[in-house]
Structure 1
């Protein structure tokens, strides 16, 4: 297994560690604007095996509000927020972000281009009754190696380089993660962009089924595959039922 595949696996693994399920009657994601510090908060640092260079995340003031500044130089790491929520018929994920640049070598269709100035993961519980014998056996082996139970499928909202806005494709490392280009290219560089997605509708479009329990939300700015540099700002992320 390559170190790139291991860091993808480790990221998904960390997203799967959550408690008992809850219904989403309020925002289940701690807003960055209300934090005093990142260390010790609900947003946990995530670092990957065999990757010595880590992306940096810090609280900063930007345009009158506290946000997270992410910087990456030939590096990869993320911040994760674990949750446990039943999606129901609709579950709205809303956030705002800003990027300083896209990655010239970034290409969501290739392993060597699987880097993004900004992305948000949404991970779901593994459903063994819907998996093949091979998939169950593979997960059992990997779980034994990592010492934890693996989650299931994931949606990955990205600021893409080449992939057109609105397109959805499988991650080049695993078909269990679908990449959705919610922004693409250079047209909105340096501007705050607000994104709202119904993750239930996106899951159904991606995998042709209703989603199981939601287990985690994460942000990540990474450049380890392309060797590039990136800088992005993440504003508050909200996870709400439609009536909120």
Structure 2
């Protein structure tokens, strides 16, 4: 009996952890950066559509504690209209079709920042943000300094400027270590953005099937 129980325990310990879906529902809140313009987001549970006409904003969702130690993520995205190639390192000139943000904070600050706005999180000195991007005039895999987040954020280019559809799988732990030089802190939220204000162009795009493990 002991051998049977031990084998069962070992099997459970080594079984792969299934990815948890993140719904695109009413829990997402829009953060404007201008009083006069904003993107339009269409949340339908499985996906979010993004329409941007010479505008920029982001939509943010806090994650519960079950995601704090996540090591990977995957999703699909599609762009039917997008912005021209830009330099994603240039403040005021870094338009991109889509960006997916993963926001991390030290475990010691989780409780004090629970329920905090995305603006407060992105300006917190201890926060670290991985921004996966479709857009820009850069090669896939380029890791760039964020022109707005400073040492708190890194842009990871997954697709250059253009249209089409693709599926992505990212290693959050590895990318965090490469970007910030240490083990990942607690994952507390995700955000979606489209950015077309600098080039006064149009974006029609969507993200679906977001899962975090």
TM-score, normalised by the number of residues in structure 2: 0.75
* Structure-1 residue corresponding to 2:153: 177
Q: Does 1:157 align with 2:132?
A: yes
CA distance in 1, matches of 2:131, 2:208: 17
- Is contact 1:29–1:81 with CA below 8 Å preserved after alignment? no
CA distance in 2, matches of 1:107, 1:67: 28
| CA separation of 1:45 and 1:147: change in aligned 2, threshold 3 A | closer
The 5 A counterparts of 1:52-71 are: 52-59=36-43, 67-71=47-51
Gaps of 5+ in 2: 1-16, 110-116
* Structure-1 residue corresponding to 2:186: 213
Q: Aligned to 1:81, what secondary structure does the other structure show?
A: strand
Q: Does 1:31 align with 2:23?
A: yes
- Is contact 2:96–2:161 with CA below 8 Å preserved after alignment? no
* Structure-1 residue corresponding to 2:75: 95
| CA separation of 1:107 and 1:196: change in aligned 2, threshold 3 A | same
1:30-81 Cα deviation digits (max 9, x unpaired): 334xxxxx4xx22x22222534211001147xxxx95322100121222222
1:127 deviation in Å? 7.7
Instruction: Choose which of 32, 35, 43 in structure 2 pairs with 1:48.
Output: 32
Q: Does 1:236 align with 2:198?
A: no
CA distance in 2, matches of 1:167, 1:148: 22
Q: Aligned to 1:155, what secondary structure does the other structure show?
A: strand
CA distance in 2, matches of 1:58, 1:93: 22
| CA separation of 1:59 and 1:146: change in aligned 2, threshold 3 A | closer
Gaps of 5+ in 1: 1-24, 33-37, 130-142
CA distance in 2, matches of 1:218, 1:166: 20
Q: Which has the higher strand share?
A: 2
Deviates more, 1:116-125 or 1:169-178: 169-178
1:163-217 Cα deviation digits (max 9, x unpaired): 111100111122311000011133xx23x20000010000001111001111111
Q: Which structure has the greater CA radius of gyration? A: 2
